[in-house]
């Protein structure tokens, strides 16, 4: 996971330098949009690197549930800066539509975009592997940014080509508006995922059903109830009650609980699991009303 975060910082840093030079040479608003996107990616990836480092810090006396929520907090910071960048691009693009300018040194700009597309494609593949292995929301957010970058970079190439080859100067700022739309959509998705983790949203329903199936596979478990789940960074928290034969010993109930926990950990190795044992068929008392 740290390797993916470091790679994202390195790639975005190199692309910022290359695109800054290409923008100065060409004056293309589409290139400026791509530069702004990469500059924000550099900032966001740097925040991610710090957040991931913090989230991997083991639990301590002041943070008994770990530091996983550093990741969604970083996601909200990313979304805010992405939204600000999109607003800037909209303003600049509208200005260029009203007062079009020719694109200069298009060859330099296109060469930089070719390098950018290749570098971002390689990074996205690396991040995909990291997400599948860890489920990190920070890496997911970064990967979403760079997937947007791929679309953006192709759009920039099209915009510059139309402006230079066919004299359609308005194509350049229109690409800028398109990039702004992609950035806005990315920011919204990052906000939703980050908010869900900060508010302890339940895990997806397919994960909850998978947990139930694992628990009920044990021959001594008659039923389960009060399944509660949440995520914080790469960590998952799972709580549930299992219903057992009322006649079994406390020692046996503990053994069954340990066995169920072990099976859940095979499917969710980063999870923290709390299992309460209840006697099956015994009516549970209603919760006390709060005055």
CATH for 247: 3.30.70.1350
Q: Give the CB-side neighbour count of residue 118, counting CA atoms within 13 A.
A: 7
- Pair (115, 229) in one structural domain: no
Q: Is the pLDDT of residue 128 over 70?
A: yes
Range of the domain at 238: 205-279
Domain boundary among 198, 222, 249: 198
Mean pLDDT, range 161-170, rounded to an integer: 79
Decide if 63 is inside a domain. yes
Q: Is the pLDDT of residue 239 over 90?
A: yes
pLDDT category of residue 37 using cuts at 50, 70 and 90: confident
- Pair (217, 193) in one structural domain: no
* Total domain count, the chain: 2
Domain boundary among 168, 198, 228: 198
- Pair (224, 189) in one structural domain: no
Q: Is the pLDDT of residue 176 over 90?
A: no
pLDDT in tens, 48-98: 676 666 656 666 677 666 666 777 777 777 777 777 777 877 877 787 788
- Pair (9, 151) in one structural domain: yes
Encoding tokens for residue 201? 């949203």
Q: Residue 201: left if φ>0, alpha if ψ -120 to 50, beta else—which one?
A: beta
- Pair (190, 209) in one structural domain: no
- Pair (37, 167) in one structural domain: yes
Query: CA 111 to CA 153: how far, in whole Å?
Result: 11
Confidence at residue 195, expressed as pLDDT on a 0 to 100 scale:
81
Decide if 286 is inside a domain. no
Packing angle between helix 29-55 and helix 137-165, nearest 10 degrees?
Answer: 170
3-state class of 140 per DSSP? helix
| Least confident range of 91-100, 257-266, 272-281 | 91-100
- Pair (132, 166) in one structural domain: yes
Decide if 182 is inside a domain. yes
Mean pLDDT, range 221-244, rounded to an integer: 89
- Pair (192, 104) in one structural domain: yes
Query: CA 51 to CA 139: how far, in whole Å?
Result: 10
- Pair (66, 10) in one structural domain: yes
**204 exposure class (CB count in 10 Å sphere: 0-12, 13-18, 19+):** exposed
Q: Of 78, 60, 53, which Cα lies nearest the Cα of 233?
A: 53
Query: Is 155 in contact with 176 (CB distance < 8 Å)?
Result: no
- Pair (19, 63) in one structural domain: yes
Average pLDDT of the chain is: 79
């Amino acid at each position: 996971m740290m390797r993916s975060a470091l790679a994202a910082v390195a790639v975005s840093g190199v692309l910022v330098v290359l695109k800054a030079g290409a923008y100065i040479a060409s004056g293309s608003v589409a290139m400026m949009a791509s530069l702004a996107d990469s500059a924000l990616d550099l900032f966001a990836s740097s925040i991610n690197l710090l957040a991931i480092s913090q989230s991997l810090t083991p639990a301590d006396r002041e943070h008994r549930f770990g530091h996983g929520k550093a990741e969604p907090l970083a996601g909200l910071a990313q979304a805010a800066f992405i939204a600000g960048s999109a607003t800037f691009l909209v303003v600049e693009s509208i200005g260029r539509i009203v007062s079009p300018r020719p694109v200069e040194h298009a060859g330099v700009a296109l060469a930089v975009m070719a390098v950018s597309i290749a570098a971002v494609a390689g990074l996205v593949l690396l991040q995909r592997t990291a997400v599948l292995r860890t489920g990190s929301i920070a890496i997911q957010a970064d990967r979403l940014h760079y997937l947007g970058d791929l679309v953006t970079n192709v759009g920039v190439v099209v915009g510059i080509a139309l402006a230079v080859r066919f004299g359609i100067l308005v194509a350049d700022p229109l690409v800028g508006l398109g990039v702004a739309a992609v950035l806005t959509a990315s920011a919204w998705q990052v906000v939703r995922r980050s908010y869900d983790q900060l508010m302890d949203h339940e895990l997806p329903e397919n994960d909850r059903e998978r947990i139930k199936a694992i628990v009920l596979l044990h021959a001594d478990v008659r039923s389960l109830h009060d399944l509660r789940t949440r995520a914080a960074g790469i960590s998952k928290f799972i709580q549930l009650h299992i219903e057992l034969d009322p006649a079994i010993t406390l020692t046996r109930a503990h053994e069954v609980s340990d066995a169920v926990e072990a099976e859940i950990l095979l499917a969710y190795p980063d999870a923290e699991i709390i299992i309460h044992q209840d006697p099956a068929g015994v009516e549970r008392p209603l919760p006390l009303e709060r005055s």
